[in-house]
Amino acid sequence: MSALLEQLRRIKDNRGLMADLRCGLVNGKRHRSWPALSRIRVGVDEVVKAHVAALYATHPEEAAQGNLGTTCKTIEFKRDGGAKGEDKMTATERRFQHLLAAETGEELFARVTRMVLMAKSQGVPVNYEKLLVDLSYWNERTRREWAGEFWNAFGTASEGGAE
């Protein structure tokens, strides 16, 4: 269990701190998140931790297992009913492919943010422990792990897959 997530769980009900952390998702307001980050022992230069903290403050519903691929598959199931034609991709699947193509930094953060906001709108929890590790070590292996969870070999996604 990461120290960051322990701190975030501790302040989960502090509406003021959570609001300040959410400012980390907006370029023009990012400076407002810095005092809140220091209170949870995150340096302003620790961009991955700061971004995960902002995402958690936006959607604190946590999953204990899976990765963002699992979360996205559950979103697809809820939004699109898991139904797709043999030759057509769902909108969620296209967004997920777009996410996998992202490079590190702001591009990746923006695409992950969109998926977490979509998870929030569908009531799908996110495994922030795994997301923190995956964003810290974003590479081809991470992409393949996410893709493997999203496009599993047997196509047996369930509604509770991200929980």
Whether 139 and 73 map to the same domain: the answer is yes
Tell me which residue range forms the domain holding 73: 68-150
Q: How far is 32 from 30, CA to CA, in rounded Å?
A: 5
Span 131-140, pLDDT tens digits: 999 999 999 9
Cβ 75 vs Cβ 115: under 8 Å? yes
pTM of the model: 0.89
Whether 32 and 51 map to the same domain: the answer is yes
- 159 domain-assigned: no
**pLDDT recorded at residue 80:** 77
Higher pLDDT, 35 or 86: 35
Asked whether the predicted pLDDT for residue 162 surpasses 60, the reply is no
Asked whether the predicted pLDDT for residue 155 surpasses 70, the reply is no
Q: How far is 70 from 157, CA to CA, in rounded Å?
A: 9
Whether 146 and 72 map to the same domain: the answer is yes
Higher pLDDT, 157 or 13: 13
**pLDDT recorded at residue 50:** 98
- 22 domain-assigned: yes
Q: How far is 150 from 132, CA to CA, in rounded Å?
A: 18
Cβ 125 vs Cβ 119: under 8 Å? yes
